[in-house]
């Protein structure tokens, strides 16, 4: 992550635009310190995704227990013909693009003669993830124009590409990582930025059997635990803290009342975390937790509510045979 300077990096078939410096390192420090001094403590899940965090998450998506990615991809492989979209001169905007493996499934279904008119905008907080995925996509689809955008798309609006005929893709049920108020504000903002005829393809992880949910975030190989703990390494680098990730235990459980998986880091001992300002310290008690992520699960009522907040019409709901995961096509 780069919060300190503007840059544009030329890639094989496009370029990369960085909006993160507009946030400013002071705002990042304030956000992290505020969370670590709160009761209960928390760190925003957007800080999971440095280069190592992105690598670990890609490993998670391959785990037997982690159903969301495999299930969503199973829906995506035949989705293009079901969306009733004009793929000519389409701006394809993917929020939280990661390794771009999901958008690749959609692009693969678009007629080859239309690919040269398509513009693809991968948007992610991880610069390394965008650089890597853009180069791979450019080698596979040489006629597509690619412009990567590094941004915190939840809290910034400067990233939104201006054009007609746009398809916004927000896969992975990443919207479930937001708070309810963040979700409402995000959808209102996105809906207001969309023009008549624009579409949103939104991945939503549905409420399901408790055992399936809990196993997905407590894998036998402990990859999710490594991913969770790595957030401490990220904030160490960003704002000069001295967390030892091995002094924390990974916790993930289902909060039935709030219909969400919660991830926490539980301190194994009392500790004092030093900051760049040596007189300012963070005190953590043994057994105290740092809340790192929520993963809300959704219902049919959630779909209707999201459409209402964004002022978008539900065109189609696509799901798997178990109704574990849904892709919702909204249209302005």
pLDDT tens-place string over residues 312-321: 999 999 999 9
- pLDDT category of residue 7 using cuts at 50, 70 and 90: very low
Of 148-162, 211-225, 254-268, 308-322, the range with the lowest mean pLDDT is: 148-162
Give the per-residue pLDDT at 11: 39
- pLDDT category of residue 27 using cuts at 50, 70 and 90: confident
Range 71-77 average pLDDT = 97
Alpha-carbon span 125 to 301, nearest angstrom = 30
DSSP E strands, 77-194 = 91-95, 119-124, 145-150, 166-170
Give per-residue pLDDT as tens, 186-224. 999 999 999 999 999 999 999 999 999 999 999 999 999
Give the per-residue pLDDT at 210: 97
All domains of the chain in start order, with CATH: 8-23+65-209+297-331 (3.40.50.150), 210-296 (no CATH)
Output phi, psi for 163, to 5 deg.
-170, 175
Range 150-156 average pLDDT = 75
Alpha-carbon span 317 to 205, nearest angstrom = 13
Give the per-residue pLDDT at 275: 86
Percent of the chain predicted with pLDDT > 70: 91
Give per-residue pLDDT as tens, 90-116. 999 999 998 899 999 999 999 999 999
Give the per-residue pLDDT at 276: 81
Q: The pTM is what?
A: 0.86
Contact 261, 217 (CB under 8 A): yes
Give the per-residue pLDDT at 250: 99
- pLDDT category of residue 8 using cuts at 50, 70 and 90: very low
DSSP 90-107: -EEEEET-TT-HHHHHHH
C-alpha torsion angle, residues 298, 302, 304, 306 (rounded to 10)? -110
Residue 35 predicted with pLDDT over 70:
yes
Tokens 């160490």 -> residue: 236
What's the mean per-residue pLDDT of the chain?
90
Residue 13 predicted with pLDDT over 50:
no
């Amino acid at each position: 992550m780069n919060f300190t300077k503007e840059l544009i990096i030329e890639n094989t078939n496009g370029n990369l635009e960085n909006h993160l410096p507009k946030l400013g390192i002071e705002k990042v420090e304030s956000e992290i310190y505020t969370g670590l001094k709160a009761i209960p403590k928390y760190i925003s899940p957007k800080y999971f995704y440095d280069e190592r965090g992105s690598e670990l998450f890609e490993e998670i998506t391959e785990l037997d227990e982690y159903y969301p990615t495999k299930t969503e991809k199973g829906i995506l492989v035949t989705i293009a013909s079901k969306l009733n979209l004009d793929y000519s001169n389409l701006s394809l905007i993917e929020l939280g693009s990661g390794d771009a493996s999901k958008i690749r499934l959609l692009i693969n279904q678009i007629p080859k003669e239309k690919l040269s008119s398509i513009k693809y905008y991968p948007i992610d907080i991880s610069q390394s993830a965008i650089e890597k995925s853009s180069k791979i996509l450019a080698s596979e689809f040489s006629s597509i124009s690619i412009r990567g955008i590094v941004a915190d798309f939840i809290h910034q609006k400067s990233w939104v590409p201006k054009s007609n005929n746009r398809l916004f893709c927000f896969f992975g049920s990443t919207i479930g990582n937001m708070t309810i108020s963040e979700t409402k504000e995000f959808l209102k903002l996105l809906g207001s930025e969309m023009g008549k005829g624009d579409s949103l393809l939104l991945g939503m992880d549905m409420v399901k059997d408790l055992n399936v949910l809990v196993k997905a975030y407590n894998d036998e190989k402990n990859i999710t635990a490594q991913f969770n703990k790595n957030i401490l390494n990220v904030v160490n680098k960003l704002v000069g803290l001295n967390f030892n990730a091995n002094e924390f235990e990974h916790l993930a459980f289902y909060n039935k009342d709030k219909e969400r998986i919660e991830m926490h880091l539980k301190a194994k001992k009392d500790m004092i975390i030093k900051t760049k300002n040596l007189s300012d310290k963070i005190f953590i008690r043994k057994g105290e937790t740092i809340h790192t992520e929520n993963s809300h699960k959704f219902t049919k009522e959630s779909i209707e509510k999201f459409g209402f907040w964004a002022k978008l019409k539900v065109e189609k709901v696509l799901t798997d045979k178990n109704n574990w995961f849904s892709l919702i096509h909204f249209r302005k």
